[in-house]
Amino acid sequence: MMLQAQKIAKTYGEFRALDGVTLGIDAGEFVSVIGPNGAGKSTLINVLTGLLKPTAGRVYLKGQDITGVGPGRLARLGMARSFQLVTIFPGLTVLEVLQVAVTSRLRRGSCLFASLARDREVMAQATEVAELFLLPEKLSMVARQLPQGDKKLLDVASAFALRPEVILLDEPTSGVSTQEKHTVMAILVAAAKRMGIRSILQVEHDMDIVFGYSDRIIALHQGRILADGTPQALQENADVMRLVVGHQGRPPGFGRSA
């Protein structure tokens, strides 16, 4: 199993954001986490990626205990999450954003920006990722000037540039149009196959995307796992559809669409 969480709890005073969450992600799986606002989705991703330490429970990557390990070390162990470098470094070009991610993976932190332009290995790997995400014509564009769909692609591409085996994505299609959502997902899935990424875990609100691309769906409600199964199994569970999908309506399709 690539990624496991065992009896994860996260409390803030008397509030329990996560309450005994246990899950596992196998190699080759695309798993989505869904749930209403406040269900604990982002807290779960933050615990899995070491940004938050759980109050109780353990997290394992390929059998190794990674509980509380920070994102930098996790990347070296084979797991990454989207950096959102467009927000962190809005004044960098597309190429520079990807170079920052590649440089982080190669652990070349000294004189970062001064050395980027003359590091051929970094340049080659950043360009390769740009091509996979259909961004080679936009390498010189400043990140903040990109259309929203391309900004999302760049955020995801920066995580892929770390060449992880497991990648975690927090709403990779938020803020883009319906048509752009499917474009982003199709490119993401194709790039994952090309780069050898073995497992994907995403938090996503768009039910069309969730039910269209996921092998499994984990439904959270009030910090607990309400259901964990295939898209078809969740469709047939009326309580889950009412509590978790609810106002968003019935998903229009099921099974992987790309």
| pLDDT score recorded for residue 117 | 58
185 and 192 Cβ atoms separated by less than 8 Å:
no
Determine the Cα–Cα distance for residues 31 and 210; give it in Å rounded to an integer.
Answer: 9
Determine the Cα–Cα distance for residues 133 and 225; give it in Å rounded to an integer.
Answer: 33
Residue 109 has pLDDT above 70, yes or no: no
Determine the Cα–Cα distance for residues 140 and 248; give it in Å rounded to an integer.
Answer: 39
Q: How large is the average pLDDT for residues 38-54?
A: 93
| pLDDT score recorded for residue 113 | 55
- CA-based nearest residue to 112, from 73, 85, 149, 135: 85
Q: What residues have CB less than 8 Å from 95, skipping those under 6 apart?
A: 123, 126, 127, 130, 139, 140
- Give 18's Cβ-side CA count (13 Å radius): 27
pTM for this entry: 0.86
Determine the Cα–Cα distance for residues 27 and 196; give it in Å rounded to an integer.
Answer: 11
- pLDDT, one tens digit per residue, over 207-216 is 999 999 999 9
Helices (H), 62-111: 71-77, 85-88, 94-106
- Pick 250 or 157 by higher pLDDT: 157
| pLDDT score recorded for residue 257 | 40
Q: Is 14 exposed, middle or buried (0-12, 13-18, 19+ CB in 10 A)?
A: exposed
In whole numbers, what is the pLDDT of the chain averaged over residues?
Answer: 87
- Pick 47 or 73 by higher pLDDT: 47
- Pick 159 or 256 by higher pLDDT: 159
Residue 230 has pLDDT above 80, yes or no: yes
| pLDDT score recorded for residue 75 | 86
| pLDDT score recorded for residue 226 | 94
Proportion of the chain above pLDDT 70, given as a percent: 89
Which structural domains are found in the chain, ordered by start?
1-73+165-172+197-258 (3.40.50.300), 79-163 (3.40.50.300)
**Secondary element (H or E) of residue 187:** helix 178-195
Q: What residues have CB less than 8 Å from 229, skipping those under 6 apart?
A: 216, 217, 237
- pLDDT, one tens digit per residue, over 111-144 is 555 555 567 888 999 999 999 999 999 999 999 9
- CA-based nearest residue to 31, from 67, 64, 63, 5: 5
| pLDDT score recorded for residue 248 | 46
| pLDDT score recorded for residue 256 | 42
**How many separate helices (H) and strands (E) can be counted in the chain?**
11, 10
- CA-based nearest residue to 30, from 234, 232, 168: 168
Determine the Cα–Cα distance for residues 214 and 203; give it in Å rounded to an integer.
Answer: 11
| pLDDT score recorded for residue 86 | 66
97 and 185 Cβ atoms separated by less than 8 Å:
no
Q: How large is the average pLDDT for residues 18-34?
A: 96
**Secondary element (H or E) of residue 214:** none
- Pick 149 or 118 by higher pLDDT: 149
Could you tell me the two tokens for 241? 């559809």
| pLDDT score recorded for residue 138 | 95
Determine the Cα–Cα distance for residues 156 and 158; give it in Å rounded to an integer.
Answer: 5
Q: How large is the average pLDDT for residues 196-223?
A: 94
